[in-house]
Amino acid sequence: MTKRTPVGFENYDDVRMLDIRKNFHKKYVKPLVNMDAEIINNVDFNGEKRILDLGCGYGDLLSSIKKRTRGCELLGVDISGEMIINAKKLCKGVKFSVADAQGLPFKKDYFDIVICKHILCHVTDIQKAMNEIRRVLKKDGIVVIVQNTLANKSKMHTERYRQYVAKELGRSYLDTNHRFNIENYTNYITGFRILKEERMFGYFISPDPGPLIDYISSMKDFYVPIPKKEEWNEVINKLKILITREISGKKLFEEVVGTGMVLLQKV
């Protein structure tokens, strides 16, 4: 099984690390911004449709969609073999395979719906992936994009801390927030029309740095080359001191966390 960032930006994400980030949002961001529910409530999964979750991770979204649909054919694809092994365990009755968004192993005009939830910010050639998505979509087919938004100073502090870590390590990192987001996705949508665009915000509020440190720690593999454990721990300890100092001045740490969803139709 191939693992970990050998080329470009592809991030062969780790199941446990992805889980830490997802749980951070579920536990600490209020009100909960539930993008899975948002997708399910805004997209018509009725009828005999063929649906692809591209960059499906460990298959939790497809598992939720499966409970709410009858007659649809569901497929999940991810570049990470580890994700696909876990997805197959979690979600029976759905076809999963390892594939790269930049070269999809499907014929043209094949899917009614393609879901891209927090994947395109990881892909080396975003335009190439969008061209592939358009190719495999039927005419009038729908692509659902979920990504972070930069509006309302969303994740401003998190971003500052990620930059601090990069500087301390002397490394560049996969800047997922800026590479592809709800503000710049329009640069990549030739051949699509926008049906819907929405942004949702929650607040991460904490009296101690623990959850935020865990969240940032889960992104170790986003730094290139990936830091060794000792080096990483040393920088994370410095980050802990910095965040603690900032919180003690304010009593509480507060961060706006924004996510957006876009529905596009192939024209």
Q: 260 burial class (0-12, 13-18, 19+ CB within 10 angstroms)?
A: buried
Question: Contact between 76 and ligand SAM (CB under 6 A)?
Answer: no
Report which residue's Cβ sits closest to ligand SAM.
Answer: 57
Question: Contact between 155 and ligand SAM (CB under 6 A)?
Answer: no
Whole-number Å distance between alpha carbons of 180 and 18? 18
- Within positions 118 to 147, which residues make up the interface with ligand SAM, using CB under 6 A? 118-119, 122-123
Dihedral of the alpha carbons of 110, 260, 223, 100, in degrees to the nearest 10: 0
CB nearer to ligand SAM: pick between 55 and 258: 55
CB nearer to ligand SAM: pick between 118 and 253: 118
At closest approach, how far in Å is the CB of 145 from ligand SAM? 11
Exactly one of 5, 18, 33, 66 binds ligand SAM (CB under 6 A); that residue is 18
CB nearer to ligand SAM: pick between 90 and 242: 90
> What would the x/- binding string for ligand SAM be over residues 201 to 240, using CB under 6 A?
----------------------------------------
CB nearer to ligand SAM: pick between 130 and 239: 130
Question: Contact between 78 and ligand SAM (CB under 6 A)?
Answer: yes
Q: 56 burial class (0-12, 13-18, 19+ CB within 10 angstroms)?
A: buried
Which residue shows structure tokens 């939830």? 117
Count of residues near ligand SAM by CB under 6 A:
20
CB nearer to ligand SAM: pick between 219 and 253: 219
At closest approach, how far in Å is the CB of 125 from ligand SAM? 9
- Within positions 82 to 101, which residues make up the interface with ligand SAM, using CB under 6 A? 83, 100-101
Exactly one of 49, 50, 66, 117 binds ligand SAM (CB under 6 A); that residue is 117
Strand 50-54 with 95-98, pairing: unpaired
Question: Contact between 258 and ligand SAM (CB under 6 A)?
Answer: no
H helices present in 123-155, as ranges: 126-136
Question: Contact between 79 and ligand SAM (CB under 6 A)?
Answer: yes
Q: Which amino acid is at 174?
A: L
Which residue shows structure tokens 């910095």? 242
CB nearer to ligand SAM: pick between 58 and 253: 58
CB atoms within 10 A of CB 264: 27
Whole-number Å distance between alpha carbons of 6 and 182? 27
CB atoms within 10 A of CB 53: 28
Q: What 3-state DSSP class applies to 55?
A: coil
Whole-number Å distance between alpha carbons of 259 and 109? 29
Q: How many residues are there in the chain?
A: 267
**Cβ contact 55:78 at 8 Å:** yes
Question: Contact between 12 and ligand SAM (CB under 6 A)?
Answer: yes
Q: Which two tokens stand for residue 73?
A: 């054919």
Interacting residues with ligand SAM (CB under 6 A): 10-13, 18, 55-57, 78-80, 83, 100-102, 117-119, 122-123
